Amino acid sequence: MEPSIYAVEKGDDLDLPPAPLEFEEGNASLIKETIDVNIGMEDEPRILKLGSSLTPEEVEIHTRILKEHQKEFTFNYKEMTGVAPHIAVHNL
């Protein structure tokens, strides 16, 4: 599987594949279909959504990385220490 993320330095001359058409200005596309991925425990799930167009290998890689860094994500307001409720809550 070819990497999808590259670390480059300014001035590096790399033969990178062309960017997908979705990245062209005015070609915004939304991922419509997603799959649920639990990065938490079975008794305390933490569900994130990944694009269904990912290969099984990409889902596995992303899930592993998200699980390793799950402490950086908040899933409820109690976990947002230092954020005032009037900033984190949206009322219609």
- Per-residue pLDDT tens digits for 3-58: 666 677 777 677 777 877 777 776 555 657 899 999 999 998 999 999 998 999 99
Quick check: 81 pLDDT over 90? no
> Has residue 8 been placed in a domain?
no
Quick check: 66 pLDDT over 80? yes
- Per-residue pLDDT tens digits for 44-56: 899 999 999 899 9
Q: What is the pLDDT of residue 63?
A: 95
> Has residue 4 been placed in a domain?
no
Residue range of the domain that includes 54: 30-75
> Has residue 6 been placed in a domain?
no
Write down the pTM of the prediction: 0.54
Apex 41 CA angle, 36 and 76, nearest 5: 75
- Residues 6 or more apart whose CB falls under 8 angstroms from that of 1 comprise 55, 57, 58
> Has residue 49 been placed in a domain?
yes
Distance CA 89, CA 83 (A): 10
